[in-house]
Amino acid sequence: MKQYPIEKIRNVSLIAHGGAGKTSLTEALLYTSKAIDRLGNVMEGNTVSDHDPEEVKRSVSISASLAPVEWKEHKINFIDTPGYFDFVGEVRGALRVSDAAVIVVCSVSGVEVGTEKVWGYCDEHEIPRAFYINKLDRENANFERTLESLRQTFGVSVAPVMLPIGAEANFSGVVDLVAVKAYKFEDNGRKMVEIEMPVDLADKVEEYRTALVEVVAETDDELLMKYLEGEPLTDEEIVTGVRQSIATGKLVPVFCGSAVKNIGTQLLLDTIVSSFPAPTLAKPQAGKNPKTGEEETRNADPNAPFSALVFKTMADPYVGKLSLFRVYSGVFKSDSQAYNVNKNSSERVGQLFMIRGKNQEPVPQVTAGDIGAVAKLNVTSTGDTLADKDNPIEYAPISFPDPVMSLAVEAKAKGDEDKVANGLNRLVEEDPTLTVRRDAETKQLIISGMGDLHLDVICSKLASKFGVDVNLTTPRVPYRETIRGNTRVEGKHKKQSGGKGQYGHVWLEMGPSAPGEGFVFEDKIFGGAVPRQYIPAVEKGIRETMEEGVLAGYPVVDVKVALVDGSYHTVDSSEMAFKIAASMAFKKGFMECRPVLLEPIMNVEVTVPEQYMGDIIGDLNKKRGRVLGMDPKGNFQVVRAMVPLAEMFRYATDLRSLTQGRASFTMTEAAYEEVPAHIAEAVIAESKKKEE
């Protein structure tokens, strides 16, 4: 692929709800532009952008994939993104480096939750966007119904620039409303042939073109005055107006077609080239100067000092770690040095590549505005800024959502634990929405991600890439044990078996300390009943027993113990004997003091559309939650509640099914509270079973 000047580059994300046909559209765009010779199919697993074995197996996109095409002396970097909520981090990364987006909508399903979400992401990044109504060849496809739902949801700036000819099985071509021409498609969609305007569409063409002209006129004061005075706009004014209003985001054009039949892609490519903004028209990138801490901006200029943002990391089985980046200023050259601003470290840069799916093409350099890849960077990870060391700038990192679901991961085969940990560490580099931690209390390895499918894919990758099979289980709850009563208890350890024996004898007074106070130990020995040198051993014996737990094997908290009496033997007493005596006394006393189990309670905030409020509150009540209140937030309500952690491990899945994916939640630890008796009994029984 040849090098293109910055004004001839376009960076466009393809985004949508899952199943709308982004990958099929990417394939059609590649085929139309002759980047590939054969039109692949998602179900057959032979598309360019779904090349990962997991994507082929599941027939869904899992990671963002780069698909550059050349069209009419321009280069368009398409980024095909996943549609499922579990992989939203990939969408976030892609939009961060895009100057525009095409939102794909299924003409059968219409506006879905994912359509609303990705529109919101475009708003966050302030980028222009277009809609592509796909699958018009399908049964029950309806262009007008889908268009109406788009306008109702997203406003009057949404206007069609194309109309379909025919519907469902008879869908055969499109009308270009800007040029007022009708086209059919031949040679598998690669050849666009002008045809006579269908007579039955004349009224519709007139109606929709008038609506388009209205939207365009409203984006420019001069055109609006002319339009209001009843003067017709010239074709040239309409074409220029459409281009300018798409580039500024004031018009959201609606295209239509069928990706599978490759109908309508040529007009989409033409509009992207003519109307989507080049990197030079995007607003300058803001960052901070790491030397001064002050904010700076960089223009998209090949002659400016070099700066780039890494938006994705891939673990390539042959090349190793592959970092995908967008150059914001200057030129990035192969076989050079780059300064990682975030890590304050220089990186040796080898060969740079252009990526298309899994194919890599070596290039001598990547210029401002373009997207490329580099292998084997040592310290660089997703979200890092690479820059010229003498003129550094640090761009804001990509905003990835926090994981919402945690499960424990165990190797199926004994001895594979290190392999699991190493594999997960490699996958964390690749996926910023995945976190891995070792729970110090439960001794479990916990992985957290965006949902069931996300974590299931991680397990499959561990098997296929790192050759290790794992099981996912619900994490153990870090319960605590404490007491509610008081007692005085004796512990005596006496052993005589020829030679030096063992003798330790203590009396302890036990009771609860204030919540959160922890363990309080008091020495109340008078008259040397227990010699000074053995008192630390008594405390140590109690502390070790508290760590192991008495009731169900969980740590003991908030207990006050006083050593009040005891006895010793001048020959047979030792630190070990007193440690054992103290442990025996503590265990016995603990069971006499009305022991209880405590569980972690979480502060939960659920952001939910009003129509689902009843379902959410009902579900939280079922989960033993206490609803504390509600606060309005735009069109949503924020429900605040306290819920036991034991009930929250799969809440991400429950919430998604209750609200069709429209709600989100956050969770932080609040306190420990007593477990209801019937649940505590089950936990204790389960723990005894494990011990046996």
**Side chain identity, residue 448:** S
Domain range list for the chain: 6-275, 297-395, 405-473, 480-593, 597-688
* DSSP state string for 230-268: TPPPPHHHHHHHHHHHHHTTS-EEEEE-BTTTTBSHHHH
Going by DSSP bridges, is the β-strand pair 559-567/9-16 parallel, antiparallel, or unpaired? unpaired
Question: What fold does the segment set 405-473 form as a domain?
Answer: Alpha-Beta Plaits (3.30.70)
**Token code pair at residue 527:** 């008259």
Task: Band the pLDDT of 691: cuts 50, 70, 90.
Answer: confident
Give whole-number Cα distances, 20 to 77, 84, 545, 571, in Å.
20, 11, 58, 83
pLDDT tens readout for residues 472-481: 999 999 999 9
Task: Band the pLDDT of 551: cuts 50, 70, 90.
Answer: very high
Give whole-number Cα distances, 211 to 151, 182, 317, in Å.
12, 18, 52
pLDDT tops 70 at residue 319: no
pLDDT tops 80 at residue 106: yes
How much is the average pLDDT of 147-165? 94
Task: Band the pLDDT of 72: cuts 50, 70, 90.
Answer: very high
Closest among 396, 391, 398 to 292, alpha carbons compared: 391
Q: What is the mean pLDDT of the chain?
A: 92
Going by DSSP bridges, is the β-strand pair 559-567/626-633 parallel, antiparallel, or unpaired? unpaired
The percentage of the chain sitting over the pLDDT mark of 90, rounded to a whole number, equals 74
Residue scoring higher pLDDT (240 or 539): 539
Range 297-395 classified under CATH 2.40.30.10:
yes
Using CA atoms, how far apart are residues 155 and 152, in angstroms rounded to an integer?
Answer: 6
- Residue 254: its pLDDT value, please? 96
Task: Band the pLDDT of 318: cuts 50, 70, 90.
Answer: low
In the numeric block, the tokens 């030679």 are attached to: 499
pLDDT tops 80 at residue 143: yes
The percentage of the chain sitting over the pLDDT mark of 70, rounded to a whole number, equals 99
Cβ atoms of residues 683 and 552 within 8 Å: yes
- Residue 559: its pLDDT value, please? 96
pLDDT tops 90 at residue 80: yes
Using CA atoms, how far apart are residues 628 and 196, in angstroms rounded to an integer?
Answer: 66
- Residue 279: its pLDDT value, please? 95
Using CA atoms, how far apart are residues 130 and 152, in angstroms rounded to an integer?
Answer: 16
Question: What fold does the segment set 480-593 form as a domain?
Answer: Ribosomal Protein S5; domain 2 (3.30.230)
pLDDT tops 80 at residue 133: yes
- Paired residues of 130 in beta bridges: 102
**Token code pair at residue 178:** 């800007």
Contacts of 73 (CB under 8 A, 6+ apart): 8
Using CA atoms, how far apart are residues 259 and 25, in angstroms rounded to an integer?
Answer: 5
pLDDT tens readout for residues 584-609: 999 999 999 999 999 999 999 999 99
pLDDT tops 90 at residue 135: yes
How much is the average pLDDT of 565-575? 90
How much is the average pLDDT of 164-180? 92
656 sits in which H/E element: helix 651-659
- Residue 570: its pLDDT value, please? 86
* Range name among 16-30, 56-70, 72-86, 220-234 with the lowest pLDDT average: 220-234
* DSSP state string for 42-86: TTTT--SS--SHHHHHHTS--S-EEEEEEETTEEEEEEE---SGG
For 597-688, CATH gives: 3.30.70.240
Going by DSSP bridges, is the β-strand pair 480-483/595-609 parallel, antiparallel, or unpaired? antiparallel
Cβ atoms of residues 349 and 388 within 8 Å: no
How much is the average pLDDT of 44-56? 86
- Residue 498: its pLDDT value, please? 66
What angle in degrees, to the nearest 10, is found between the helix axes of 221-228 and 202-218? Answer: 130
Using CA atoms, how far apart are residues 603 and 94, in angstroms rounded to an integer?
Answer: 32
* Range name among 50-54, 145-149, 661-665 with the lowest pLDDT average: 50-54
pLDDT tens readout for residues 448-464: 999 999 999 999 999 98
Using CA atoms, how far apart are residues 584 and 555, in angstroms rounded to an integer?
Answer: 16
* DSSP state string for 384-413: -EEE-TTS--EEPPP-PPPP-EEEEEEESS
pLDDT tens readout for residues 643-661: 999 999 999 999 999 998 8
Closest among 409, 429, 405, 408 to 419, alpha carbons compared: 409
For 6-275, CATH gives: 3.40.50.300
Closest among 243, 246, 258 to 170, alpha carbons compared: 258
- Residue 481: its pLDDT value, please? 95
- Residue 454: its pLDDT value, please? 94
Using CA atoms, how far apart are residues 553 and 380, in angstroms rounded to an integer?
Answer: 43
pLDDT tens readout for residues 177-235: 999 999 999 988 899 999 999 999 999 999 999 888 888 888 778 888 887 887 887 78
Local structure of residue 676 (DSSP, 8 states) = P
Using CA atoms, how far apart are residues 8 and 569, in angstroms rounded to an integer?
Answer: 93
pLDDT tens readout for residues 401-413: 989 999 999 999 8
- Residue 665: its pLDDT value, please? 93
Say whether 480-593 and 297-395 share the same fold: no
- Residue 687: its pLDDT value, please? 85
- Residue 242: its pLDDT value, please? 86
pLDDT tens readout for residues 387-402: 999 999 999 999 999 8
Using CA atoms, how far apart are residues 556 and 274, in angstroms rounded to an integer?
Answer: 69
pLDDT tops 60 at residue 317: no
Report the sign of the C-alpha dihedral through residues 353, 356, 358, 361, in that order.
negative
